[in-house]
Structure 1
Amino acid sequence: MQSIPESLGYTVVKLCKLYFNRLNVTLNALNIYEGQQNLLLALWKEDGLAQSEITRRLGVEAASVSKAVDRMENAGFVKKVLSPDDARMNHIFLTDLGRSMEKPVHDAWFTVEEELLAHMTLEERLLLRRLMLQMRDNLK
């Protein structure tokens, strides 16, 4: 019988942990902390989202988004604006600093990705991506 540490799933979990640890070290140097890049990605795509919509899109707990928004507001990346239609709802907007972080975050992401994929040919990278997308779809 195969042992769990020898399984592909175990390897994937360990790889993800290593990848995000490396990425987080790089992003922490930019004053961006675990999970905050996902919030920034959502706002770079569509600024001014309701906080509840960010929660829905990211598929995380409302408390996690609230904590991240507060921390990012204190760091100067975003600002909260009360909805004119519903005082219980905040919309989250990027500040100039938040907008300026798009390229550094992009560069950090792809620097770590290049490190991850070093010594792989383009064909191997494309095959790996196809297989990983298939695995993801299998679990949906």
Structure 2
Amino acid sequence: MAEPAPQAGREPTGTAREASVPVPAAAGGGPISHAIFRLARLHRMFAGQLLRRIGLHPGQELVMMHLWELGPQRQADLVRLLDSDAATMTRTVQRLEQAGFVRRRPSPTDKRASLIEPTAASHALRREVEEAWSRLEDLVAAGLTDDERAAALHTLERLEQNLLRAADDPAGDPASAPPE
């Protein structure tokens, strides 16, 4: 049974902690992949806790970030920007609309499409989202030096590029992709 994860803002007791999810023997060939799984699970949990305090669910803040940055967007463009699927984006936009953070308006250039745009209420939320993300970053990178933060970011970006190359490879074999 897995040890319960710490709550946001609380330090783990004791010295070094074991993995939050036990590593099964079958995952022995993928220790980095299992670590990514554990990290992503905890990251999402903490993000959820921080975002719930401001009335959002994980993923909704990403939609809002793009809308604040880019202005009104077609839903299909949001799907592409966030590498989402249409059904998930439909539910996300509907929930944001019900909360009063976005509204739909007809596209001036395409009569079949509507644009999703942030509302004034969402602009008031922006600072809180930025603070939540800063807090999340502080939790994730606690105790790391500036050099360690830069190295961690570089490594994560390289892992992401490896997977993107594998996704572009028709055989799906990362070993056949050219090295960086």
TM-score of the aligned structures, taking structure 1 as reference length: 0.91
Q: Which of 13, 27, 34 pairs up with 1:10?
A: 34
For structure 1, the residue ranges without an aligned partner over 5 or more in a row are none
Post-superposition offset of 1:84 = 3.5
Q: Deviations over 1:57-103 (max 9, x none)?
A: 11111111111111111101010112244343110111111112111
TM-score of the aligned structures, taking structure 2 as reference length: 0.72
User: Where does 1:1-140 land on structure 2 (aligned, <5 Å)?
Assistant: 3=25, 4=27, 7-140=31-164
Considering only CA atoms, is the larger Rg found in Structure 1 or Structure 2? 2
Post-superposition offset of 1:51 = 1.2
Identity %: 25
Greater share of helix: 1
Q: How many residues align?
A: 139
Q: In the aligned structure 1, how far is the partner of 2:84 from the partner of 2:126?
A: 22
| Secondary structure in 2 matching 1:101 | helix
Q: In the aligned structure 2, how far is the partner of 1:35 from the partner of 1:133?
A: 20
Post-superposition offset of 1:15 = 0.5
More displaced stretch, 58-67 vs 80-89: 80-89
